[in-house]
Structure 1
């Protein structure tokens, strides 16, 4: 399983527009093949900074989503709202038990 974290910081005046875009697309993303989880988190100190956390069956499923029209159209609407470059990380569970 792959866990994907994306950090997005928006122009403060564009936050509501982003939230509308997310609301419109979240069920479609959650329904995309290989997506097991999607949530939106808001930074407690920076109200215009958000993170998405998504879980994917495999890197191939995540890449398939990233190449899809759904991603391209959603990202095209979201990207102009940023006031900082977005950052993203793909993570896997470490096998060591603590």
Structure 2
């Protein structure tokens, strides 16, 4: 299992645009083969920062999504709204206590 975080900083006047994009695509992303979980988080200290947290069955499933038309169109519409470079990283669980 692969856990993916993407931290995005938006132009203040474009955050509503992103939220509309997310609302319009979240069901399709959640239904994408290999996507086990998707949520949107808000940074408590910076109101223009959002972070997606997704869980994928495998690195291959995430890569298939990243190569899909769904990702390409969603990302193209989203990245023009940024005020800073996004930060994305993948993790795996090592231990649960």
Identify whether the pair has TM-score above 0.5, normalized to the shorter chain.
yes
Structure 2: state its 5+ residue gaps: none
> What TM-score, normalized by structure 1, do the two folds share?
0.96
TM-score normalised to the size of structure 2?
0.97
Matched, 1:20 2:20: yes
3-state SS in 1 of match to 2:71: helix
Change over 3 Å in CA distance of 1:18–1:97 after alignment to 2:
closer
* Residue matched to 1:41: 41
Q: Between Structure 1 and Structure 2, how many residues are aligned? A: 97
Specify the alignment match of 1:70 in structure 2. 70
State the Cα distance separating 1:56 from its structure 2 match: 0.2
The Cα of 1:48 is off from its aligned counterpart by 0.5
* Distance in 1 separating the partners of 2:37 and 2:93: 15
Over residues 4-56 of structure 1, what are the superposed CA-to-partner deviations in whole Å (9 max), with x where a residue is unaligned?
00000000000000000000000000000000000000001111000000000
